Each structure stands twice: as C-alpha cells, then as structure tokens.
Amino acid sequence: MKHVGVDIGSTTVKVVVLDEQYHILYKYYARHYSKVRTEALQVIKKIRSLLQDEPFTIAITGSAGLGTAKHTGIEFVQEVFATRIAVEHFIPSADVVVELGGEDAKIIFLTGGSEERMNGTCAGGTGAFIDQMATLMNVSVAELDKLSFSHQKIYTIASRCGVFAKSDIQPLLNQGAQKADIAASIYQAVVDQTITGLAQGRRIQGTVAFLGGPLTFLKGLQERFRESLELGDGAIFPDDAQYFIAIGAAMHSVNSPVTTYDDVLHRLTDAAYAKTTIETLPPLFSSKEEYEAFQHSHRTDDVEYDDIATYQGSAYLGIDAGSTTTKMVLITEDHKILHSYYALNAGEPIPIVLEQLKQIYALCEDRISIKGSAVTGYGEDLIKNAFHIDTGLVETMAHFRAAQHFNPDVDFIIDIGGQDMKCFKIRNNVIDSIVLNEACSSGCGSFIETFAKALGYNIQEFTSLALRSSHPVNLGSRCTVFMNSSVKQAQKDGASVEDISAGLAISVIKNALYKVIRANSADDIGKNIVVQGGTFLNDAVLRSFELEVGRKVTRPSIAGLMGAYGCALIAMDHKKEVSSLLNLEQLNNFSHTSQATTCTACTNRCKLTINTFEGGRKFISGNRCERPLGKTEKRVVPNMYEFKLNYLTSFVSQEGRFGKIGIPFALNMYENLPFYHAFLTDLGFEVVLSDVSTRDMYQLGQHTIPSDTVCYPAKLVHGHIENLLQKGLTTIFYPCMPYNYDEKKGDNHYNCPIVAYYPELLHANIGALNHVNYYYPYLSPHDRRAFEKQAFAFFSERYPITKKDVRLATSAAYEAYDAYKEAIHDFGYQTIKYAEANDLDIIVLAGRPYHVDPEVHHGMDKLITSLSLAVISEDALSPVVDKQPSTVVNQWTYHSRLYAAARYIADKDHMHLVQLVSFGCGLDAVTTDEVRSILENEGKIYTQIKIDEINNLGAARIRIRSLLAAIDQLKERKIK
C-alpha cells in the first residue's frame, strides 16, 4: 500500500508518496502563495494516476495544514513529530535534528534525554527572514548564498528577531560595508538564534541532521552551521531534506484509516471551496462613490513643476539618503520642481547619487546654477563628505520644513518610510514632540512591498487589490514578524489576497497609531495632519489612516520625496553664491572604495567603515567618538556614565582569610557593588569582579538564557557568571534583593522581579553553579538591622565569623555606599556648575543604574558628549527632590528616581531628559508614560531611546539630533 504525506508550511507545500518500504515514488515542492487549499487540491489532482488504482493512507502536517486537516477530516500530525518519525527511520545515528522552515525553527534532541522545541513567539522567521534580507539587499536568495562564500568578516547582527536584524543590517549597508560580509553575517545570525533561542543551553553535538528548505538549498548557511557548531563529519545534510516532514507524515499515516483517491479528492475539493469564518474588518470603501470622493479629495495637494530644459536661473538641490531609498529633488527659486528622482538604493547610495548628479549637471547646462545643497537621512554623513554637500541636517527638520510648505498650519506630521516611522507634533511652529518607531515597528513600510513580491505581485497591483477588498483580515499590530504569522493564519483560513493586502495596510497604520504615536483620539494627534513617506503613496494605507483617525489628512503628491524637498527648501534658506557641491569635472574623477575595520581606541570596539575617495580623501563612519578620526584634542565634557563606570571598576581588593569571592558586575551590582564590595572585603574575602561586559561575554553565556524576551541587562549576567567561572572562582556571590534602598521618594521601594530574583534563575540554569559555592541569599540592605541578621545567619553557617564581624562589615558597607551616593551627587552638582559656566546644555540620561554598562548603552553617553552636551544620570538629581504624588503606583526605587529627576529638570531651560529603556522592560511601560507626562506638563520635550543587544546608534543619533534641533528652535523663538 502507498502512503501519502502532505506538508503545508508557511510558504510552501510539499507532497510525497511512499511505497511500503518507504521509498519515495513521487515528490513535489512548490510555493503556495497563500492559496493553501487550492494548491493542495491541485497537487492531489496531479498524482491521480499514481493513487487512483488502489487504496492508500494519507496524513497532513505543517503549520498551515492544520485548518485543511480539520476541514477535511484527514489525519493531522504535528510537524516536529513527523520530522522525528522520518529521522528515526532514515538517519538512525542522529543525535540532534535542526529543522528550519519558512517561519518556524525546530530542534529535536534524540539522544541523552529526548526533547523537542520550537521557536518562541518572538523568535521571528528563518526562511522568510532570509528572503526579507535578500530583498533588502536587492539580491536573489541564490545570489545572497553565493555572496556569503567570499566574506572576510562577520558583523554582529541581532539574532533574536528578524525586525531587529534588519535594523542592524540597514546601517551597515548604508555605511558601505561589503555585501559578502553582510550575507555571511545574516547566516551567522540565523545560526546564533538556533543555538541560543532554540537549543537554550543544550549543546548541539554528535551527529546532527539539518532539514528544511533553507538548510537544503543554502550552502552558505550549511557552512556557517558546520563551522559554528564545530561538527566536522557529524553534520548531515541529507538528500530530500526539504521533504522530511512530508515523509514523516506519510509514515505516520500507516496507522490511520485507509482511504481512496476519490474520497480524498472529494474532501479537498470541499475544503478548497468552503466558506470560512474568520474575523474580518470593515472594508476600506463601502461604495464606488466613496472611493471616487476619496480620490478626488487628494488631488489638490500637488506641487508645481518647471521644465529643466528651458528654466534659467538659480536652483537648489535636496538629497534624502534614506535607509532603503535615495531621493533627490532640484527646485527653482519659486519652489517648483525641476527634477526629481526616487529609487531603491540597494544599499549603495553613492553610485546612485553620483549618477544622478552627473545627469543633473548635464540637464542644467549653463542655464541653471546650483546655489545650495542639503542632505539628510541615514546616509547623510557619507553623502555629505563624498560630494561636499553644503548642509547636512537631521531628517525630522527636513520633513518639517517640507510639510510646512504644504500646510503652514501643520501641527502633526507622520512619515512612514521603508524602515522607519517618524511622527512629530508641532506647537507654536516648533517641533515639540518627536516619536520615532522602536524596533517593533521597524520595517512596516517595506514589509508590504516584500509581501507583495512574495505573493507574486508588484506593489501597485497589490495596492489596487486592497482597495477592492470587502473583508480585510485582522493581522494584529505588534510587529511585522507577528503580522507575518497572522497572515499565515489568514492563509490557513483561506483569506483572499485582496483581504490580506487591505489587512496589511490597516495593520501598518494601527502599528503606527497605537504602538508608535500612542494616540488616544484623533484630537490627540492634531487638526492639520500631513502624512508623507513612500508608504503613504499606497492609497490603501492612506485610506486606513484616515479611517482610523477619523479625519481627512494632507498627503502631498510628492509624499515619497518630502525629505529631499525639505532639504532643497533648506538649501535655499541657506543659499550661497556658489554651492560647495562637487562640479562635473570633479564628479568625472570621482572614485570610492570602502573597507571595514574595527576601532581599537577603547572598549566600545566600534565597527568602522573607511571610505576612500579620489585623491585619498577619507571618510570614516561607524564611530561613536572622534578618536578614530585622529583628532586627539577634544573638549572634555562632563560624563557621569564614564565617571560611574570608573568609580565602580576602581575598587581595590585585598587578600582575605576566606579566600576569593566573585561578584558578577552586572544588573543591580551597578547599584550595590560599593556596598557588597566593602562588606565582603571587611568580612575577610578577596573580592573578584567579573570583567566589564562585552558582546563576546554575552555570547559566552547566551546558551543558558531560558527566556529570550527578558531584558538584555539580565541576559548579560549569564556571561558574567561564565566569566567568573573562567577566572577559576569557586565561590560566587549574587544575592536576591526583592527590595532596594528606601530613599523615601515613593510608596514602597521594590526592585523589579528580574533584579530581585535573577540569582535564582541563574542557579537553575547554569549547571556549573552546582559545582561551586554559589551564594544567593535573600538580603535587604534597606533595613540595616534585618540585613545584619540575614548576613550573620547566612555567613556564620559557612564561615567562622561573629556577630561583631558582621556588624563591622555592615558599617563599612553602608559607609562605602553613602560615599558612592555622595560622589554621584557631587559630580552632578559640579556638572551643573560647569555647564552654567561654559554655556553647555545637560542631558539627563535617565534609566536604571545598570544602564551605565557600556554594553547595555552601546556608547550612548559618548554619542551625546560628542555633540557637546554634558551627561548626568537620574540619581544625581533625585536626592534633592521631595516625594510627590504620581498618577501611577510609585513603589520601585529606580522609578522614583526617574520621576524625581524629571520633576527636577522640568523648569530648567538647559537640562533635557533622554530616557533609556531596555527592550522587554515591562515596568518601563509604566515609567515612560509617567516621565513623559511630567515633562510635557511643563512644556519640555520627552525623548525615549530603546536599547537592546542591537548595536546601532543611528536611530539614537537621529533622536538626539532632533531633540537638539528642536531645542535650538525653541531657544531662537525665546530670543525673538
């Protein structure tokens, strides 16, 4: 008897027919373009001749197969289970199976305690992820694979989530990093994710079978796995690896009821044409008239053009070197467009700009003289240096300038580009609130386009389908990864492409409104809204936005060119006799090469890209400070983050009667180290600190992290423990602390659950801690009496100490802690004085104590001081602010400090607050809104920067520069 296995994955459908000995008689592999059920039906029809003569058994598997199986009543087998059946039969020697599919990743441990795992909700896709990345780089997946073989270096790319990885790759592309290196780095990210997210500490060793489409077709990915896991001959890439799940399903079906071809055909036909019930949303247009009215109402927001072939006089050039696209506009003295350009830059903006500039010069002849040029966007610095552009400015200012041109009363601008979303409110002609998307909203714009392509449409077709949709599907709004899997569900339920397209447009808008803007009502947003960015050229997106906010908005016809247009207008504002822009002759001699390297001047280890232009002109990008640029002389601006780090790493340890004791220098130790260092030293220990965090250290401990959505500071502790173990320590101290010091600024003084109990998690997850003395008692330094009792109870059980010893050590501990607090406060006071004397502005880089860890803030402090701003932390200010009521539960010590610092600066013109928020910090969902409202009530601008393992300061730089630009504007107005 024959056995049939049907594997319907997220992107493909695979079918195999096996004989009794499990030999493959037939196999089929195709993308289903979300037409799951009809595709399944088509395949079955294809193999009629093979099946119609005798009865057979059949089973369905795969993430998108569930619905089909339910509807048809055909046996369903979970795909990991199916994989296991097939592997146990065909590769009996396998110890581990790694299977990467379109969106799911799975690992099966067959020996040494059997276990199956799938990626968590946040782990993003794998096959689909690689597809997305290839699109981003404008190469086919096959080309990407080929490229990866000629790599010379690997960049660290966040591996947790596709959206994050994208945010890492984009700047690399823009900085001119080699495509080959990026290709290999993308693969490495997939490998890292498998090791950490999936295996979570279990070693992938022995004989490992690699299955699934990506691992079958992508040789470069195979290579990265083989190398990273050091498997040698143990790595098996079987033939037909993409069919293994289907084979497993066929084998599983042996035990299910025997059926016939006609029966299966009948059931599948039924399913293919069945109406399904899925939750849908109201259509974008309820009638044709409505659509026409919509079309009509947006015709007015046009811009005028002039003929470049006949125009005579001055012109101004604007360039928007965006993340995925390059836009250029040349305008006349009266704001008319002479020439415009919009194209994907495929990660290489320089050749595109070069080509366009040459063309523009050719078109201008001698009639037109360019009197000013300005550039903005991710590639601002590179383009400015390459072509000697007159002015460089932050994107937000460019967009504001352009929006004002179309609607002088504009009070709200939202720009959705390929990668980023930017929203800002305008009050009194000044940008007073800037919101940029976080990683979770990244890539919404290009997502629609990528998706259109994946479904086999171009963006115009895809958009027009959306407009015709009668029941848009609800695809959620958390992030593109989640939307991706919602689409999968919709496909499973048989939703049409029209409805998916409309659903995507709605989702992107909901993401913008609820996640980025956090709008409560239309009035909350503004009365004169200008929407722009390439994504808004999609009518479905525009319509969704209008429906959601309930009012008509202005979409300039050049929505995609607004950045460039704004630049051109600003170039005109700053007009000169002659622009510094390279002339035609210089352009003809132009050359550009780039080389990647790592800066060794400090521990940040910035990945630099050295761009060399004709005549040896150089431009270095990727740096956080001036040091790699060879400028040794720089103004020393007070930097409390640096001060704190130096203070904490400068404790001297002495030999003690009880030997060495290790402390992980992470998380709350950034607050409590002075206390415990003094306490343990006085008690008779030689305190050994783990090294300052690095990315390498993180990777050292990555495999023992049980929850991939916990914050990065917590994840780092795993590396610190490994670091201490490597140092040969046999005693490690890391206490549980549910309560922090009581600074009397709130109703209680908790730590967050992570800071409080992470030591217990470490004990349960790092096996090596069972073989050393790992001390993680509950201690509460907020109550001296209790602390002494706890400490005595704990240490006297293990060491010959007296109550007096503990009392003296405790005194030393409190003294050391008080001295530290004093030093912080003092430094803050000195900074304020220094800033006043030198006319500097101060940024309160507010967060939590462990944000001082350079691997956590990624050099944010230096980025700020490089802009000539002093940096202090929130706890420098909080001691001088009295307890005040708040609209939230104020019962965490770290939070109380944030609120106090916000109140302190609320009426200070020269102090501004930037809040650092770790991704995954649930409690900061509480603090961010509260800090924002404290500041905004006093007319201050609130800036929030989310940080994670992503090592990309590009977005942070935009935010801080936007803040500075807005502050400058405010000051100018005050002077006037």
Partner 1 sequence: MATLRYDKTGRLLFTKEMKKEYTLLMPMMLPIHFGFFEEIFKLHGYRAVILDTTGQDIIDEGLRSVHNDFCYPALLTTGQLLHALKSGEYDINKTALVMSQTGGGCRASNYIHIIRKALKNQNLEHVPVISFNLVGIEKNPGFKMTPKIVAQLTYAVVYGDLLMWLSNQTRPYEKNIGDTDKLLAHWMNAIKKEIRRSKSFLPKAANKKFIQIAKDFQAIDRTEEERIKVGVVGEIYIKYAALGNNNLEEFLHNEGVEVVMPPLLDFALYSLNNVIVDSRIYHKGYLRAAIVKWLFQFLYSLQDKVNTAITHHSDFRPMQSFERIKELVKGYVDTGNKMGEGWLLTAEMLELIDAGIYNIICTQPFGCLPNHIVGKGMIRRIKQNHPEANIVAIDFDPGATKINQENRIKLMLATARRNMQSHSAPTFALGGGK
Please count the CA atoms within 13 angstroms of the CA of 656 that sit on its side-chain side: 21
Locate the DSSP E strands across 32-169.
56-61, 96-100, 105-109, 115-118
Asked if 768 is part of the footprint of partner 1 (rule: CB under 8 A), the reply reads: no
Contact segment (CB under 8 A) with partner 1 among 168-176, 582-590, 924-932, 962-970 equals 924-932
Binding segment toward partner 1, per CB under 8 A, in 144-152, 473-481, 852-860, 966-974: 473-481
- Toward partner 1, which CB reaches closer, 111 or 369? 111
Backbone torsions φ then ψ of 909, nearest 5 degrees: -65, -30
Residue pair 399/532 in contact by the 8 Å Cβ criterion: yes
CB of 923 to partner 1, least distance (A): 5
Q: Which is nearer to partner 1, 292 or 523 (CB)?
A: 523
Site stretch for partner 1 (CB under 8 A), options 181-189, 218-226, 514-522, 868-876: 514-522
Provide the CB-side half-sphere exposure for 620 (13 A, CA): 15
Quick one: which of 479, 567, 852, 914 contacts partner 1 (CB under 8 A)?
479
Q: Does 780 bind partner 1 (CB under 8 A)?
A: yes
> In this structure, what token pair is assigned to residue 193?
């994710």
The contact pattern for partner 1, residues 373-392, with x = CB under 8 A and - = no contact, is --------------------
Instruction: Using alpha carbons, select from 590, 565, 569 the residue that is nearest to residue 387.
Output: 590
The Cα–Cα gap between 204 and 105 comes to 14
Helix ranges (DSSP H) in 253-348 = 261-273, 288-297
Residues pairing with 56 in the sheet: 2, 259
Q: Looking only at residues 61 through 80 of this chain, which bind partner 1 when binding is defined by CB under 8 A? A: 63-64, 66-67, 76-80
Tokens for 162, please give them: 């596709």
Find the binder of partner 1 among 392, 476, 656, 879 (CB under 8 A): 476
∠ CA 411-414-419, rounded to 5° = 160
Residue 785 lies near partner 1 (rule: CB under 8 A): yes
CB 589 within 8 A of CB 397: no
- Choices 304-312, 482-490, 646-654, 821-829; region in contact with partner 1 by CB under 8 A: 482-490
Out of 790, 896, 944, 952, the residue judged to bind partner 1 by CB under 8 A:
790
Residue 954 binds to partner 1 (criterion: CB under 8 A):
no
Task: Return the number of the residue (760 or 909) whose C-beta is nearest partner 1.
Answer: 760
Task: Determine contact, residues 469/291, Cβ cutoff 8 Å.
Answer: no
* Burial of 31 per CB tally in 10 Å (0-12, 13-18, 19+): middle
Smallest distance from partner 1 to CB 17, Å: 23
Residue 937 contacts partner 1 per CB under 8 A: no
Chain center to CA of 616: 36
* Contact residue for partner 1 among 928, 943, 944, 962 (CB under 8 A): 928
Q: Scanning residues 886 to 915, which ones bind partner 1 (CB under 8 A)?
A: 887-889, 891-892
The token duo for 229 is 């896991």
Of the candidate residues 659, 706, 800, 939, the single one contacting partner 1 (CB under 8 A)? 706
Smallest separation (angstroms) from partner 1 to the CB of 36: 12
Q: Please, what is the minimum distance in Å from the beta carbon of residue 524 to partner 1?
A: 8
Sites for partner 1 among residues 617-676 (CB under 8 A): none
CA distances from 44 to 47, 247, 263 (A): 5, 16, 11
Q: Does 850 contact partner 1 by CB under 8 A? A: no
- From 34, 489, 690, 915, residue interacting with partner 1 (rule: CB under 8 A): 489
Per CB under 8 A, does 936 bind partner 1?
no
CB of 426 to partner 1, least distance (A): 21
d(CA 687, CA 684): 9
Contact 929, 915 (CB under 8 A): no
Q: Which is nearer to partner 1, 84 or 298 (CB)?
A: 84
Shortest Å distance, C-beta 965 to partner 1: 27
Q: Alpha-carbon distance 545 to 318, whole Å?
A: 28
User: How open is the CA angle 287-293-294, to the nearest 5 degrees?
Assistant: 90
CB of 773 to partner 1, least distance (A): 16
Contact 505, 426 (CB under 8 A): no
* 709 sits near partner 1 (criterion: CB under 8 A): yes
Query: Is residue 756 part of the contact set for partner 1 (CB under 8 A)?
Result: yes
- Is residue 435 at the binding interface for partner 1, with CB under 8 A as the rule? no
Query: Exactly one of 750, 795, 817, 827 binds partner 1 (CB under 8 A); which one?
Result: 750
Binding positions for partner 1, 792-831, rule CB under 8 A:
none
User: Nearer to partner 1 by C-beta: 122 or 724?
Assistant: 122
Q: Does the footprint of partner 1 cover residue 255 (CB under 8 A)? A: no
113 binds partner 1 (CB under 8 A): yes
- Would you say 368 or 717 has its CB closer to partner 1? 717
Residue type, 196: T
Helices (H), 112-161: 127-137, 141-148
907/930 Cα distance (integer angstroms): 17
Q: Of 8, 74, 100, 122, which one interacts with partner 1 (CB under 8 A)?
A: 122
Q: Does 923 bind partner 1 (CB under 8 A)?
A: yes
- Of the candidate residues 258, 768, 786, 819, the single one contacting partner 1 (CB under 8 A): 786
* H/E segment holding residue 166: helix 162-174
Spatial contact of 883 and 745, defined as CB atoms under 8 Å apart: yes
Alpha helix positions (H), 706-802: 712-726, 753-765, 784-796
Q: How far is the CB of 468 from partner 1 (least distance, A)?
A: 23
Q: Is 773 in the site for partner 1 (CB under 8 A)?
A: no
- Among positions 79-98, residues that touch partner 1 (CB under 8 A) are 79-81, 95
Q: How far is the CB of 130 from partner 1 (least distance, A)?
A: 20
870 to 212, 822, 843, 862, 878: CA distances (angstroms): 53, 19, 6, 10, 18
Please tell me whether residue 739 adopts helix, strand or coil conformation: strand
- Closest CB 252 distance from partner 1, rounded Å: 10
The b-or-e profile of 610-638 (16+ CB within 10 A means b, else e) is: bbebeeeeebbbbbbbebbeeeeeeeebb
CB of 153 vs partner 1, minimal distance in Å: 34
Residue 283 CB, nearest distance to partner 1 (Å)? 16
Stated length of the chain: 976
Q: Which of residues 268-287 bind partner 1 (CB under 8 A)?
A: 279
Q: Considering the rule CB under 8 A, would residue 14 count as an interface residue with partner 1?
A: no
Please choose, out of 190-198, 221-229, 748-756, 862-870, the segment that lies near partner 1 by the rule CB under 8 A.
748-756
CA distance 403 to 381: 23
Q: Are 265 and 45 in contact (CB under 8 A)?
A: yes
Does residue 492 interact with partner 1 by CB under 8 A?
Answer: yes
Give me the residue label for tokens 């600190």.
689
Per-residue contact flags (x/-) with partner 1 for residues 520 to 559, judged by CB under 8 A: xx--x-----------------------------------
Contacting range for partner 1; rule: CB under 8 A; set: 200-208, 357-365, 719-727, 859-867: 200-208
What's at 312, amino acid-wise?
Answer: Q
Helix (H) or strand (E) holding 206: none
Given the complex with partner 1, which of 343 and 786 has the nearer CB atom? 786
Amino acid occupying residue 534: G
- Min dist CB 8 to partner 1, Å, is 12
Q: Mark the segment that binds partner 1 (CB under 8 A) among 310-318, 390-398, 758-766, 835-843.
A: 758-766
What the block records as the tokens of 623 is: 């740096």
884 contributes a contact to partner 1 by CB under 8 A: no
Q: How far apart are CA 467 and CA 704, in angstroms?
A: 48
* Size of site (CB under 8 A) for partner 1: 88
